[in-house]
A and B are shown apart, each in its own frame.
Chain A
Amino acid sequence: MTPAKKPETEPADEAPDVPGFRTWRGVYGFVFAVFVAVVVALTLFTRAFA
């Protein structure tokens, strides 16, 4: 009943293979930093124009 399994050899901690990032934790940290920067930018935008 259960469908065919994925290949067993797919490690959850495989390298992201993204220039500048050796681990997924680094990628998540970057995304979080971008999120914080966007919220700060929107706050400054509101202060400047509203």
Chain B
Amino acid sequence: MNAIDWLVLLGTILGIVAYGTWRTRHTDNLTTYLKGNSTTKWGTIGLSVMATQASTITYLSLPGVASENGIAFIQNYFGLPLALIVVCAVFLPIYRKLGVYTAYEYLGQRFDQKTRLLGAGLFVLQRGLQAGITIYAPAIILATVLGWRLDVTIVCTGLLAIIYTVTGGSAAVHLTQKWQMAVIFGGMVTAFVVLLTKLPADALHIAGAMGKLNAVDFTPDPKLRYTVWTGIVGGFFLSLSYFGTDQSQVQRYIGGARLREGRLGLMFNAVLKIPMQFFIVILGALLFVFYQLQPGTPVLFNQIVWQQQINGPQGATFRAIEEKHAALHADKQTKIRAWVAAHERGDAPAEVAARAALTAAQKASLAVRNEARDTLQAADPAAKKTKDSDYVFISFILTQLPHGVIGLLLAVMFSSALSSKAGELNALGTTSTIDLWRHFRPLAAHDEVRNVRVAKWLTALWGFFAIGFALFVSSAENLIEALNIVASIFYPALLGVFVVAFFLKHVQGSAVFWAAIAAQIVVLAIFFFGKAYPAWEIGYLWLNPIGCAACVLFSLGLQAVMPLEMKPLSVSEP
């Protein structure tokens, strides 16, 4: 990085933060603070929804995942457009009609306070811990390759997000996310164009021949992680719970001038999300081709840590692996050229033979990479914190892009970290204020100024909690894995509660409350049974429809045997 890169990076990031803070510095109206400006249009809402969902991991790690495993991950998003249609048609009109600030406030109106507290409590618990990881995950990668201090990277990123989120609330989040998305789009397209100029015309055919372009898989096997069926069914339920019941998303679209603005913002995402993700995974597949054709492709992309070992006491072992990889890489390049020649001649039998040879060469190369990874992790256990695929795109950025563009791409990474972080903090502050603080201090609920002040304090508190968690999480790596598991198995039961709330009008609070707890136990049992007996493990996306269906069925069963509850007159029905 040189002075131009620093100028672009700091100018972009600080400029957007300063602009957002300045424009929303007088936000003291509760509705504006929690829902955003009442004049917000659908374009801003659409970009805000997109920015909240896509964190740095999307732009930093996903190209590496596609480079390593191919583009099949795209199928995960197949259920998203269908889920957004349901959110638009069912969830959003009810949230707007009731004028709620949070999704869990609706549960309180539809059922009872204990169900509302269950939803809000589980959200803040899970999302609060996730907020720490949202900072930590990109920080450890960027700090490693850029040679920055990890703690300084975490604290600076966290403080920037806290400053404008606390100052302007939802209005600031909407405003900054719009500009951050502009930086992200601009940077990613620039990187893509530069990559294209470095590739041969038949790059896509090479990627296909090496098994990286299997976008869809119709195999009906529940054990496979990415198929059309897991994507449509599991992805539908996952997206429905995320967009329909997670406050960090609900808060993005319940504001706006009219119901139309929220709906169009969501439809904007329904149309563009799969093409956008396709663009990112194709970028990854083309990065793979680029590194296949480069003469000096490293055995592992986390070169900072690798070079430390090369120069350490076990250097001979690491150099031997490197030499083995270089020889296999050169052999693989010969095989690629042979396949390309056969393909261009249209010689089908030669093409089949060359492809088989290429596949064998790729397998041998992969075996050496796995050996390198295992040796590195044995020598330096800290290397287990990240996957080597996380370093593929950032290596390309730092070594292949011109100065200025490097700064722009780093601005992309920090913009995405800030935008998703701000969305989370905003939602945590709102839920803590509306569903928890106001619940326990009902008399204070009518003091608007005090509500805004409390929301600001709670937003800041969650921000500092996230920074603290990110700083200390490195000493508890297993916790990250545990939290990711919690995130992937937690939502189905909560979605079940909302499905019952919207579609089963006769089911009451106690039935759905206990049904949600029972459904959560079922999901946990299936998950841990799969871990204990891998032969029975199912793709994690299937937990979403199973957990949701269990909650709905248990609710119906419990309601059939439980006595009807008398509702207080002050509680309104939707």
- Among residues of B, the one whose C-beta sits closest to the C-beta of A16 is B260
The B-contacting residues of A in range 19-50, CB under 8 angstroms, are: 24, 27-28, 31-32, 34-35, 38-39, 42-43, 45-46, 48-50
Determine whether the beta carbon of A38 is less than 8 Å from that of B270.
no
The A-contacting residues of B in range 251-281, CB under 8 angstroms, are: 258-260, 263-264, 267, 270-271, 274-275, 278
CA distance A16 to B260 in the complex (A): 6
- The stretch from B181-189, B209-217, B240-248 touching chain A is B209-217
- Among residues of A, the one whose C-beta sits closest to the C-beta of B268 is A31
CA distance A46 to B207 in the complex (A): 11
B208 shortest CB reach to chain A, Å: 3
Determine whether the beta carbon of B264 is less than 8 Å from that of A18.
yes
The A-contacting residues of B in range 416-453, CB under 8 angstroms, are: 434, 438-439, 442, 445
Contact of A4 among B99, B275, B434 (CB under 8 A): B99
- Interface size class on chain B is 35 or more
Determine whether the beta carbon of A49 is less than 8 Å from that of B82.
no
Residue B109 is within 8 A (CB to CB) of chain A in the complex: yes
- Interface size class on chain A is 20 to 34
Contact of A12 among B30, B97, B208, B442 (CB under 8 A): B97
Contact of B30 among A3, A14, A32, A49 (CB under 8 A): A3
A39 shortest CB reach to chain B, Å: 7
Determine whether the beta carbon of A6 is less than 8 Å from that of B216.
no
Residues of A contacting B78 in the complex (Cβ-Cβ under 8 angstroms): 35, 39
Determine whether the beta carbon of A31 is less than 8 Å from that of B267.
yes
Residues of B contacting A43 in the complex (Cβ-Cβ under 8 angstroms): 215-216
Residues of B contacting A3 in the complex (Cβ-Cβ under 8 angstroms): 30-31, 99-101, 105, 434
Residue B81 is within 8 A (CB to CB) of chain A in the complex: yes
- The stretch from B88-96, B158-166, B305-313, B556-564 touching chain A is B88-96
Given A2-B109, A14-B258, A24-B263: A42 and B271 interface contact (C-beta under 8 Å): no
Contact of B270 among A2, A12, A35, A50 (CB under 8 A): A35
Determine whether the beta carbon of A28 is less than 8 Å from that of B88.
yes
Given A16-B264, A39-B78, A42-B215: A1 and B445 interface contact (C-beta under 8 Å): yes
Determine whether the beta carbon of B82 is less than 8 Å from that of A6.
no
Contact of B208 among A5, A31, A50 (CB under 8 A): A50
B76 shortest CB reach to chain A, Å: 13
Give 1 or 0 for each of B100-114: 1 = CB within 8 Å of chain A CB: 110001000100000
CA distance A46 to B278 in the complex (A): 12
Residues of B contacting A27 in the complex (Cβ-Cβ under 8 angstroms): 263, 267
Instruction: Please list the residues of chain B having a beta carbon within 8 angstroms of any beta carbon in chain A.
Output: 30-31, 74, 78, 81-82, 84-85, 88-89, 93, 96-101, 105, 109, 204-205, 207-208, 211, 213-216, 228, 258-260, 263-264, 267, 270-271, 274-275, 278, 434, 438-439, 442, 445, 572
Show 7 A/B contacts (Cβ-Cβ < 8 Å), sorted by A. A16-B260, A16-B263, A34-B271, A35-B78, A46-B216, A49-B205, A50-B213
Known: A28-B88, A39-B216, A46-B215. 12 other contacts (CB 8 A): A5-B98, A6-B97, A10-B96, A12-B97, A12-B259, A16-B264, A24-B263, A31-B270, A39-B78, A42-B278, A50-B211, A50-B213
Instruction: Please list the residues of chain A having a beta carbon within 8 angstroms of any beta carbon in chain B.
Output: 1-6, 10, 12, 14, 16-18, 24, 27-28, 31-32, 34-35, 38-39, 42-43, 45-46, 48-50
Rank and list the top 9 A-B pairs by shortest CB-CB distance, nearest first: A49-B208, A6-B99, A12-B93, A5-B99, A42-B215, A35-B81, A49-B213, A50-B214, A46-B215
